[in-house]
Amino acid sequence: MANSPAAPIMLELVDEDGTTIGTAEKLSAHVAPGQLHRAFSVFLFDEGGRLLLQRRALGKYHSPGVWSNTCCGHPYPAEPPFAAAARRVGEELGVAPSLLREAGTVRYNHPDPASGLVEQEFNHLFVGLLRDELRPDPEEISETAFVTWDELEKRHATDPFSTWFMTVLDAARPAIRELTGGTGNW
Protein backbone atom coordinates (compact mmCIF):
# COMPACT_ATOMS: atom_id res chain seq x y z
CA MET A 1 0.00 0.00 0.00
CA ALA A 2 1.38 3.43 -0.92
CA ASN A 3 2.01 5.94 1.81
CA SER A 4 -0.53 8.73 1.91
CA PRO A 5 0.81 12.26 1.93
CA ALA A 6 1.27 13.74 5.37
CA ALA A 7 -1.47 16.02 6.58
CA PRO A 8 -0.47 19.67 6.43
CA ILE A 9 0.87 21.17 9.66
CA MET A 10 -1.44 23.93 10.82
CA LEU A 11 -0.51 26.95 12.92
CA GLU A 12 -2.59 29.36 14.98
CA LEU A 13 -2.90 32.82 13.51
CA VAL A 14 -3.11 35.54 16.15
CA ASP A 15 -3.76 39.27 16.42
CA GLU A 16 -1.31 41.74 17.95
CA ASP A 17 -2.52 40.80 21.44
CA GLY A 18 -1.93 37.08 20.88
CA THR A 19 -5.62 36.23 20.55
CA THR A 20 -6.28 33.36 18.16
CA ILE A 21 -8.04 34.52 14.98
CA GLY A 22 -7.69 31.48 12.72
CA THR A 23 -5.30 28.92 11.31
CA ALA A 24 -2.95 28.63 8.35
CA GLU A 25 -0.75 25.93 6.86
CA LYS A 26 2.80 26.21 8.24
CA LEU A 27 4.67 27.09 5.05
CA SER A 28 2.01 29.54 3.83
CA ALA A 29 2.22 31.42 7.15
CA HIS A 30 5.94 32.00 6.48
CA VAL A 31 5.65 33.15 2.85
CA ALA A 32 6.28 36.91 2.52
CA PRO A 33 4.89 39.10 3.90
CA GLY A 34 4.12 36.42 6.50
CA GLN A 35 1.09 35.96 8.72
CA LEU A 36 1.31 36.66 12.44
CA HIS A 37 1.21 33.28 14.18
CA ARG A 38 1.88 31.73 17.58
CA ALA A 39 5.35 30.29 18.22
CA PHE A 40 7.59 29.39 21.16
CA SER A 41 11.29 29.54 21.99
CA VAL A 42 13.04 27.54 24.71
CA PHE A 43 16.34 28.32 26.45
CA LEU A 44 17.69 25.43 28.53
CA PHE A 45 20.77 25.61 30.75
CA ASP A 46 22.97 23.00 32.37
CA GLU A 47 23.78 23.07 36.08
CA GLY A 48 26.87 25.19 35.33
CA GLY A 49 24.75 27.97 33.83
CA ARG A 50 25.71 27.24 30.21
CA LEU A 51 23.08 27.70 27.48
CA LEU A 52 22.31 24.81 25.14
CA LEU A 53 22.41 25.93 21.50
CA GLN A 54 21.39 23.81 18.55
CA ARG A 55 22.49 23.95 14.96
CA ARG A 56 19.48 23.31 12.78
CA ALA A 57 19.71 20.29 10.47
CA LEU A 58 20.69 20.97 6.88
CA GLY A 59 17.46 19.32 5.68
CA LYS A 60 15.20 21.90 7.37
CA TYR A 61 13.17 23.92 4.84
CA HIS A 62 13.61 27.09 6.91
CA SER A 63 16.92 28.37 8.29
CA PRO A 64 18.91 25.16 7.70
CA GLY A 65 22.40 24.89 9.16
CA VAL A 66 22.23 27.95 11.40
CA TRP A 67 22.69 28.08 15.16
CA SER A 68 19.70 28.94 17.32
CA ASN A 69 18.24 28.65 20.80
CA THR A 70 17.74 25.26 22.47
CA CYS A 71 14.39 24.58 20.81
CA CYS A 72 11.74 26.53 18.95
CA GLY A 73 8.58 25.78 17.06
CA HIS A 74 4.86 26.28 16.81
CA PRO A 75 2.02 24.95 18.94
CA TYR A 76 -0.68 23.07 17.10
CA PRO A 77 -4.01 24.90 17.02
CA ALA A 78 -5.47 24.95 20.56
CA GLU A 79 -2.30 23.38 22.04
CA PRO A 80 -1.03 25.40 25.02
CA PRO A 81 2.41 26.88 24.25
CA PHE A 82 3.92 25.33 27.41
CA ALA A 83 2.78 21.86 26.34
CA ALA A 84 4.09 22.44 22.81
CA ALA A 85 7.48 23.58 24.13
CA ALA A 86 7.84 20.53 26.36
CA ARG A 87 6.71 18.24 23.52
CA ARG A 88 9.20 19.67 21.02
CA VAL A 89 12.12 19.52 23.47
CA GLY A 90 11.40 15.79 23.76
CA GLU A 91 10.99 15.32 20.01
CA GLU A 92 14.08 17.32 19.01
CA LEU A 93 16.49 16.60 21.87
CA GLY A 94 15.22 13.25 23.20
CA VAL A 95 15.03 14.57 26.79
CA ALA A 96 12.65 16.31 29.14
CA PRO A 97 13.70 19.50 30.94
CA SER A 98 14.12 19.08 34.69
CA LEU A 99 12.58 22.55 35.01
CA LEU A 100 10.65 24.63 32.47
CA ARG A 101 8.91 27.91 33.15
CA GLU A 102 7.32 30.74 31.23
CA ALA A 103 9.48 33.79 30.48
CA GLY A 104 7.08 36.18 28.72
CA THR A 105 6.27 36.83 25.08
CA VAL A 106 7.80 38.82 22.25
CA ARG A 107 6.39 39.83 18.87
CA TYR A 108 8.67 40.21 15.86
CA ASN A 109 8.85 40.26 12.09
CA HIS A 110 12.14 38.88 10.72
CA PRO A 111 12.56 38.19 7.00
CA ASP A 112 15.15 35.50 6.23
CA PRO A 113 17.18 36.72 3.24
CA ALA A 114 18.54 33.23 2.53
CA SER A 115 15.14 31.56 2.09
CA GLY A 116 12.84 34.51 1.40
CA LEU A 117 10.57 33.28 4.19
CA VAL A 118 9.34 35.54 6.99
CA GLU A 119 9.17 34.89 10.72
CA GLN A 120 6.21 37.00 11.80
CA GLU A 121 5.56 35.58 15.23
CA PHE A 122 3.94 36.10 18.59
CA ASN A 123 6.52 34.07 20.48
CA HIS A 124 6.05 32.53 23.93
CA LEU A 125 9.37 32.25 25.77
CA PHE A 126 10.44 29.49 28.17
CA VAL A 127 13.57 28.97 30.26
CA GLY A 128 14.65 25.91 32.15
CA LEU A 129 17.24 23.41 33.26
CA LEU A 130 18.49 20.27 31.61
CA ARG A 131 20.21 17.42 33.44
CA ASP A 132 19.87 14.42 31.14
CA GLU A 133 22.10 13.33 28.28
CA LEU A 134 20.91 14.63 24.92
CA ARG A 135 19.69 12.34 22.15
CA PRO A 136 19.14 14.83 19.29
CA ASP A 137 17.00 13.88 16.31
CA PRO A 138 19.33 14.24 13.26
CA GLU A 139 16.35 15.26 11.11
CA GLU A 140 16.01 18.34 13.34
CA ILE A 141 19.45 19.05 14.79
CA SER A 142 22.90 18.65 13.23
CA GLU A 143 24.93 19.77 16.26
CA THR A 144 24.57 21.00 19.84
CA ALA A 145 26.80 23.07 22.12
CA PHE A 146 26.62 24.27 25.71
CA VAL A 147 28.04 27.80 25.87
CA THR A 148 28.84 30.48 28.39
CA TRP A 149 27.87 34.08 27.64
CA ASP A 150 31.43 34.85 26.45
CA GLU A 151 31.47 31.76 24.21
CA LEU A 152 28.07 32.74 22.79
CA GLU A 153 29.30 36.25 21.94
CA LYS A 154 32.33 34.81 20.09
CA ARG A 155 30.25 32.23 18.24
CA HIS A 156 27.56 34.78 17.34
CA ALA A 157 30.24 37.05 15.83
CA THR A 158 31.57 34.32 13.51
CA ASP A 159 28.85 31.70 12.88
CA PRO A 160 25.45 32.03 11.19
CA PHE A 161 22.51 32.29 13.61
CA SER A 162 18.75 32.28 13.06
CA THR A 163 17.25 35.68 12.27
CA TRP A 164 15.12 35.53 15.44
CA PHE A 165 17.83 34.41 17.88
CA MET A 166 18.91 37.76 19.38
CA THR A 167 15.33 39.02 19.59
CA VAL A 168 14.14 36.04 21.62
CA LEU A 169 17.33 35.91 23.72
CA ASP A 170 17.07 39.59 24.64
CA ALA A 171 13.38 39.20 25.53
CA ALA A 172 14.09 36.13 27.71
CA ARG A 173 17.12 37.61 29.50
CA PRO A 174 15.27 38.81 32.65
CA ALA A 175 13.95 35.26 33.22
CA ILE A 176 17.36 33.78 32.30
CA ARG A 177 19.07 36.00 34.88
CA GLU A 178 16.54 34.88 37.49
CA LEU A 179 17.03 31.21 36.57
CA THR A 180 20.84 31.35 36.53
CA GLY A 181 21.16 33.67 39.51
CA GLY A 182 22.74 36.28 37.26
CA THR A 183 25.86 34.20 36.74
CA GLY A 184 27.77 34.26 33.47
CA ASN A 185 26.63 37.75 32.33
CA TRP A 186 23.26 36.48 31.17
Active site residue ranges: 72, 121
User: For residue 153, which of 43, 65, 67 has the smallest C-alpha distance?
Assistant: 67
Binding site for Mg(2+), by residue number, is 92
Binding site for Mn(2+), by residue number, is 30, 37, 74, 119, 121
Q: 102-137: buried (b, 16+ CB within 10 Å) or exposed (e) per residue?
A: ebebbbbebebeeeebbbbbbbbbbbbbbeeeeebe
Looking at residue 91, its amino acid is E
Pairing label, strands 51-56, 141-147: antiparallel
Which helix H or strand E contains 44, and what residues bound it? strand 37-45
User: For residue 77, which of 140, 8, 16 has the smallest C-alpha distance?
Assistant: 8
Which helix H or strand E contains 108, and what residues bound it? strand 99-111
Residue 17 phi/psi, 5-degree rounding, is -95, 0
What is the 8-class DSSP label of residue 161?
B
